[in-house]
Amino acid sequence: MNNEAHGTSSFATDESVPVLLDDYREQARAALPGPVFDYIEGWAGDGLTYQNNRTDFDRLLLAPFVMRDVSHVDLAATYLGRTSALPIGFSPSAFHQLAHPSGEAATVQAAHANDIPMIVSAMSSLPLEDIAKLAKGARLWLHVYLFRDRAVTRELIGRAEAAGFEAISLGLGCPALGKRPANLRNRFTLPEGVSAANFARRNTTDFNNPIYALADAELDPSASWRDVESLCGATRLSVIGKGIMNACDALPAMDAGLSALMVSNHGGRQLDGSLSTIRALPEIAEAVSGRVPIFLDGGVRRGTDVLKAVALGADAVFLGRPVLWALSAGGTQGVMAMVKLLADEARLAMQLSGCASPAEARRKVGSLLRWI
């Protein structure tokens, strides 16, 4: 939009203060070395799914209700036996030290301060025990895969149990790593000093590209629902299945013992051309029919996105790239400010659409939302 045409050009602007989540992306672009920014931003293939995750939120229009009492908007979300004040969490992302020297130590403080879940990637750049020690009582979930060597998965889960993690997040849509042109073109490798700290004892770093090498060496394309069932049976922690995109998978997932499902296409970094998560959500929510909590990640950037996702059945939304952008822009304070920005927008979106809570948005969903 042309500001001059709207008579606002005489106002001073302070571009160092983000007012939209996307402002953090530009700060990250300025702060980080090009290949690191490209790794974080990166998508598979032509970026169709990466784009759809965003544009499909925009294709979902709101028909606001008016004159409803929205003086108190309650965003609280209860799942897995605990209530968070916000229906927001942090998706797992590898190597937070790529974004900031404090890495996961900074991110976890922001999650803890907001009492929202942080899913720690198995590929974290700090050991999971150190992350847990830094934020006692934080809602920590460890994200693991069914690695080729199941002992690796079992060991990680045992360590998470011992360190006081609340839950396990299990990657379901990752039999192999997606093809990401930017990383291949710039031959992305981890910078000196950043590594997969939980795998310190495994010889995975002497490859040309540690991320692809790690994935090829460790991910197990033969994994099936039977493996999920035995993993769920082998831990006292709740297991959340991350990566459900097809309603046909909802039943096997629940039968296998998963305690919650996350609708995720890995932020468009895996199968290019797959559905956006907000399009996939309604059918999955219908198939699940309230039996387990449902989460969604992928392209959540605006308060209205939070409203749309919770209205369509998500108990909470999770953020991937925005966490890393904000981390690179300002460490813990950056991530805290980013969460506050999104929460304020979500509260405003609820007020302006006449919904005082996610439950009310869900009840009104039939007339609140229209696809174009």
Ligand X SMILES: CCCCCCC(=O)C(=O)O
Contact with ligand X (CB under 6 A) among 23, 56, 218, 305: 218
DSSP 190: P
Residue 218 touches which member of ligand X, ligand FMN, none, C-beta under 5-8 Å by kind:
ligand X
Q: Does 320 bind ligand FMN (CB under 6 A)?
A: yes
CB of 169 to ligand X, least distance (A): 12
334 lines the binding site for ligand FMN (CB under 6 A) = no
What residues numbered 110-169 form the site for ligand X, per CB under 6 A? 123
By CB under 6 A, is residue 114 in contact with ligand FMN? no
Only segment of 152-160, 208-216, 271-279, 281-289 that touches ligand X (CB under 6 A): 208-216
Query: Which of 110, 120, 93 has the alpha carbon at shortest distance from 129?
Result: 120
Query: How far is Cα 79 from Cα 103, in angstroms, rounded to an integer?
Result: 27
Binding mask 228-247 for ligand FMN (x = CB under 6 A): --------------x-----
Scanning 17-25, 59-67, 152-160, 212-220 for contacts with ligand X by CB under 6 A, the matching segment is: 212-220
Residues 259-288 close enough to bind ligand FMN by CB under 6 A: 264, 266-267
Q: Could you tell me the CA-to-CA distances from 7 to 2, 12, 13, 19, 43 in Å, in that order?
A: 9, 13, 14, 20, 38
Write b or e for each residue in 261-284: b if 16 or more Cβ atoms lie within 10 A of its Cβ, otherwise e: bbbbbbbbbbbbebbbbbbbbbbb
Contacting range for ligand X; rule: CB under 6 A; set: 214-222, 242-250, 251-259, 297-305: 214-222
What is the C-alpha to C-alpha distance for residues 202 and 208, in angstroms, rounded to an integer?
Answer: 16
Q: In whole angstroms, give the CA distance from residue 153 to residue 147.
A: 6
By CB under 6 A, what part of segment 35-54 binds ligand FMN?
40, 53
Q: Is 14 exposed, middle or buried (0-12, 13-18, 19+ CB in 10 A)?
A: exposed
Q: How far apart are CA 100 and CA 325, in angstroms?
A: 10
Using CA atoms, how far residue 230 sits from 7, 107, 255, in Å, is: 64, 32, 12
- What one-letter code names the amino acid at 364? K
Question: How big is the site for ligand FMN, counted in residues (CB under 6 A)?
Answer: 22
Please identify, using beta-carbon distances, which residue of 87 and 320 lies nearer to ligand FMN: 320
Site for ligand X, rule CB under 6 A: 94, 123, 177, 211, 214-215, 218-219, 266, 269
